[in-house]
Amino acid sequence: MSRTNRCLALLLAGSIALSTSVLSFAQTTPAPAPTPTPMPAPAMQAIVPRAPDIAASSYILIDAVTGHAIMELNSDEALPPASLTKIMTAYVAEYEIDKGNLSLDDQVFISERAWRTQGSKTFVDVNSYVRVEDLMRGIIIQSGNDASVAMAEHIAGSEEAFADLMNQHARRLGMNSSYFVNSSGLDDTGQTNLMSARDLATLARVKILEHPVHYRMYAEREFTFNGISQPNRNTLLFRDNTVDGMKTGWTTPAGFCLVASAERDGMRLIAVVMGTASEEARAVEAQKMLSYGFRFFESHRLFEANQVVESLRIWSAAENTIDAGIPSEVLITLPRGRAGDLVTTLSTQETLRGAIEAGQVLGSVQVTLDDEVLYSGDVVAMKSLERGGLLKRLMDALTLFFMGLFG
C-alpha cells in the first residue's frame, strides 16, 4: 500500500471511531428535561363566611350610615329592654334641647318619687335641684333610674305623661315594635316596656346621625355625682378603643342586653343583643358581631350627589340629549372586595319628548349583586330643557314617524 493510501486509511478509521464515540455519547446521555410552564396564580376572590352564632334571644347588626342589616335574628320581636329604655329617655331630652325647649343648665327638682325609685341610681338627693346635664350623664353613664324619673317629670310633668311622649316619638321614628310605660325600664310593677332589636338599632342610628353632639356623652367612661364615682356599664368602652357607645340593660325578664356602636376606617356599625346570659356574654356577643361586620363588609359610595348616570335622547326639545342622574349621594353596604361585581340597570321611558324640568323623573336605576337588589331609585333630569322650535319639532316628528314605520 502506498504512503498516500495508508494516510487515507488512517483518516477514514479515525472518522469512523469519532462518529461511533459521538453516537454512543448521544445514546447514553439523557436529554435535558423541558422547563415547566408556571401555573397562573388563582384570582383573589372576596370570600365571606356565614355569620357567627350569637348566644342571644334577639340581635341585629346594622351599618349606621346605610341602615343595612348585616346579620339578625328575631330582630322584630318585641322584648323587655330593661335599661335600654333609657336610650329613648335620653333621646327625648336631647330632642327637647335641640328644639330649644330645654337647656343643659336648667335646674331639675328631685321629687320624692324620683328619689325613691329602686335599682341603679345616680344618688340624687330628695327635694334638691340638679342640672339637666348632670341628669343626662346619670341616665347615660350610670343608668340611674332616679335620674330618669326626675328627667321625665321635669319634661312632661309626670312619668306617665312622659311615657306617652316616648310612644309618640317611637311612632314618628318608625319603631313599630316599641311600647313604653315608664322612663327607666324597670319591670317590677306588673307592666313592662317593649322594644325590638331593630327598633333599638333604629333609635341608636337616629341619635348618632341627627344628634352627634349629644352622642359624645355615651363614650365617657365614668361619672361622679354627689361624691360617688361610677364607671360606664358598657365594658366594651374599656376593651375596644373603636367603641364609643351606647348602653347596657338588665332585669330578670330581659336578661343582659347591650347596644354598642363602633367606628373603624370610616365605617360605623351598631350591634344590638338582647337576652344574653351574663354581663360578660353581652359584651362578647356584641364584639363578635362588630368584628364580623368590620372584617367582611364595607360602606361603599355608589353614586355621588348629582352624578350623571347616562345621557338620554330627547325629541322635540331645544337640545337632542339630556343628562339623567342621581340627585343625592347613595351609600350601600356590601361584602368587601365585591364593588367590581355590581350590576347597574337603567330603565327609562321609551321616548322622551318636549320640555323637561330640572329634577323631573326620567326613569329608574337598579343595582344588584348576585341577584340581590342593593339599591333602587329614580334618575332625574340634571337641568331644564325648553321645548324645541317649530322646525325642530317637525323634523323630530318626521324622524320618529319613519323610525316607527321602518324601524
Q: Do the bridges between strand 228-231 and strand 330-335 make them parallel or antiparallel, or are there none, so unpaired?
A: unpaired
15 is catalytic: no
Task: Please answer whether residues 321 and 312 qualify as being in contact, where contact means their C-beta atoms are separated by less than 8 angstroms.
Answer: yes
Phi, psi for residue 369 in degrees, rounded to 5: -140, 115
Distance CA 205, CA 208 (A): 5
CB distance 296 to 328 below 8 Å: no
Q: Is 299 a catalytic residue?
A: no
For residue 144, give every residue at least 6 positions away whose Cβ sits within 8 Å of its Cβ, in sequence order, or none: 120, 121, 122, 123, 124, 135, 138
Cell of 284: 362578647
Q: Return the DSSP state at 150.
A: H
With CA atoms as reference, report the closest residue to 230 among 255, 248, 254. 248
Helix (H, G, I), strand (E, B) or coil at 329: coil
The answer to whether residue 158 is catalytic is no
Q: Which of 57, 58, 75, 83 is catalytic?
A: 83
Which of 58, 111, 143, 178 is flagged as catalytic? 143
The answer to whether 381 and 360 have CB atoms below 8 angstroms apart is: yes
Q: What does the alpha-carbon distance between residue 92 and residue 152 come to, in Å, rounded to a whole number?
A: 9
Closest residue by Cα to residue 272 from 117, 130, 64: 64
Q: Which of 57, 75, 86, 178 is catalytic?
A: 86
Torsion sign, CA atoms 344, 345, 347, 348: positive
Give residue 88's region: left, alpha or beta (phi > 0; psi -120 to 50): alpha
Which DSSP category does 147 fall into? H
Contact 148, 183 (CB under 8 A): yes
Q: How far apart are CA 312 and CA 322, in angstroms?
A: 5
Matching residue, cell 320624692: 112
Distance CA 91, CA 170 (A): 10
Strand order in the sheet with 243-251: 69-73, 58-63, 267-276, 255-264, 243-251
- Active-site residue numbers? 83, 86, 143
